[in-house]
Structure 1
């Protein structure tokens, strides 16, 4: 059995992705800051017949994130799929003229250093498997920067560049790197942005393995 590691796992998209990949036979590593919540979600998934376990890490603490991914692989099986989808802090979303150098530290740690750390931790196992998928999930500011959300606009753009570089570099190794841009909020019941619909989309990106950037819905300029 191989594992999907969901970084930023919560009751919405994370839970839906866990169920979608779990139905396909993946073990699920739920990685977030709140151990109690990830344990509760893992227990709920277990009652549905899905092998899942919660792990604690703050994506802004590289050693903790690396340790969580290594522990997950040891406990559940090698990580074949890595999803990076934590929700940015609200204080990252300041207007551009109110954003100074210090205000960019958090967004960059969260959306650039975090994914770089996660990929470096998971990549050796994928190479050993001879296959893998890295899924980046971003909001619309990854593509269209918003002047009232400078931190995430800048950091998401940097994460997008990193992901695209990985896409081009790792394809020859059988490792597919892809980005799903979700414009607007994730909305239960929405035809394209419902968590279960998005989980199906992410499964398709993993299984069909084509292209880098994909959109969950029409992009709002």
Structure 2
């Protein structure tokens, strides 16, 4: 039986690309979303050259209408999804008192609101009403940093949202979960290599319903 499409939002040269490669190897058509159209096209072409089905769509996770439109177009082009991975975030140094309201809204639009928009858009499109909605969390959700304040607040809010979504969908065929990455992705620790982390997401997707969890803390 063929597998549904995997939609990967927030694809760059690290975890995002590793996620696309992992789900492609698992037999899913994959769709790569991000702001850099040329880079996405290059990644999709590389996957296609290896015999995988891949598409690339430019989308700003902080723009709800653009994100909804890109997701809907991708599903029309490549088929109903089985997996959503929301991996977009604004990574910047900032302090609790260093940003004004506009700057806060801009970061939260990507770190939190984009995840909500993606989930709401994809849920009714899931093939047979079943699948996985997976979100990249972070250790700052558990231990906030005064040097990465908006990211800390965003990851804490995302964690709360996904736990609520998990409970909301517990009696359906949809597994919502966050991977709370409590370490530096791509740093010296091989456990946090993008490929190692991508395998964790794939493992969550393959869990049976009795194994479902709202959060996997990866530390």
Class of the TM-score when normalised by the shorter of the 2 chains: over 0.9
TM-superposition CA deviations, 1:5-52 (whole Å, max 9, x none): 000012211221112111121000000011111000000011111100
Q: CA RMSD in A?
A: 1.5
Secondary structure, aligned partner of 1:97? coil
Corresponding residue of 1:133? 132
1:15-34 equivalence runs, <5 A: 15-34=17-36
1-structure distance, mates of 2:89, 2:98: 22
8 A contact 2:14–2:186 mirrored in 1: no
Corresponding residue of 1:200? 199
1:34-183 equivalence runs, <5 A: 34-90=36-92, 93-126=93-126, 129-183=128-182
Which runs of 5 or more residues in structure 1 are unaligned? Answer: none
For this pair of structures, how many residues does the alignment match? 214
2-structure distance, mates of 1:41, 1:83: 17
2-structure distance, mates of 1:148, 1:189: 21
Secondary structure, aligned partner of 2:143? coil
Which moves more between the two structures, 57-66 or 178-187? 178-187
1:188, CA displacement in angstroms? 6.3
TM-superposition CA deviations, 1:94-149 (whole Å, max 9, x none): 111324433311121111210111111101012x5131101110221122111121
2-structure distance, mates of 1:59, 1:125: 19
2-structure distance, mates of 1:72, 1:187: 29
1-structure distance, mates of 2:91, 2:199: 26
1:216, CA displacement in angstroms? 2.2
8 A contact 1:192–1:216 mirrored in 2: no
1:172, CA displacement in angstroms? 0.9
1:54, CA displacement in angstroms? 0.3
8 A contact 1:19–1:50 mirrored in 2: no
1-structure distance, mates of 2:148, 2:56: 31
Q: TM-score, normalised by structure 1?
A: 0.91
8 A contact 2:6–2:84 mirrored in 1: yes
Q: 1:188 to 1:21 in 2, by over 3 A?
A: farther
Corresponding residue of 1:212? 214
Q: TM-score, normalised by structure 2?
A: 0.92
8 A contact 2:18–2:198 mirrored in 1: yes
